[in-house]
Amino acid sequence: MTYVVGLTGGIGSGKSAAAQVFEELGATLIDTDAIAHALTAPGGAAIEPIRTAFGADYITAEGALARSRMRELVFADAAGKRLLEAILHPLIRARSSELVRAARGPYVILMVPLLIESGDYRGRCQRILVVDCPEGLQLARVMTRSGIAAAQARAIMATQVTRAARLAAGDDVIDNSLDPAHLRRQVEALHLRYLQLAAAGG
């Protein structure tokens, strides 16, 4: 069975930076955000179910998900958010499972932003890795990266589980509060550990 490490962290924590280093070192990276983007691109498997559920106003002229419009809806409407998740999550899960089965690396890094929130993460991963940084730094990174105000960044952070809950769920934690070299050293050490665990079957 393929050894799967679930990688997660709050928005702005640096999940993608850590995942990129794991991939450079030879792990197979499966990014569920990238899967979601493919599913909601023109011709994606989620487009027609979304059109049926939400109406043509949520699909662009090119046939993709109208992301900004949908983002506004799901932030304001919990039922709409649940409906979108009911469409997307099974499709994302099925595609990520296919990619895990096809993986050729020594182990898989399954990057799922809302892994802890998904509820059944222990059944999908042999190990959970949390990328962490202080919430103030997280907030500053989100504001800089996305060009949004502090209130909007805090609203996004509030939709995710707390930092404490994420840390409690993690088998391993990467501290991404310093520079890229500090991050890389931690990833390199974990890579060696995951190679050993995968070779031993967990």
pLDDT tens, 58-114?
999 999 999 989 988 988 898 999 999 999 999 999 999 999 999 999 999 999 988
User: For all residues of the chain together, what is the average pLDDT?
Assistant: 93
pLDDT band, very low/low/confident/very high, at 31 (cuts 50, 70, 90):
very high
Residue with tokens 């550990």: 193
Instruction: Report the C-alpha gap between 199 and 138 in whole angstroms.
Output: 35
Which H or E element spans position 2? none
CATH 3.40.50.300 fits 1-27+107-202, yes or no: yes
Asked whether the beta carbons of 113 and 32 are under 8 A apart, the reply is yes
CATH 3.40.50.300 domain range(s) in the chain:
1-27+107-202
* DSSP H stretches of helix in 40-118: 47-54, 67-76, 78-102
**pTM, 2 dp:** 0.92
Report pLDDT digits (tens) over 99-156: 999 999 999 999 998 898 876 777 889 999 999 999 999 999 999 988 888 888 888 8
As given in the structure block, the two tokens for residue 105 are 């690396």
Closest to 158 in 3D by CA, of 13, 33, 36, 11:
11
Report pLDDT digits (tens) over 152-184: 888 888 888 999 999 999 999 999 999 999 999
User: How far from chain centre, in Å, is Cα 125?
Assistant: 14
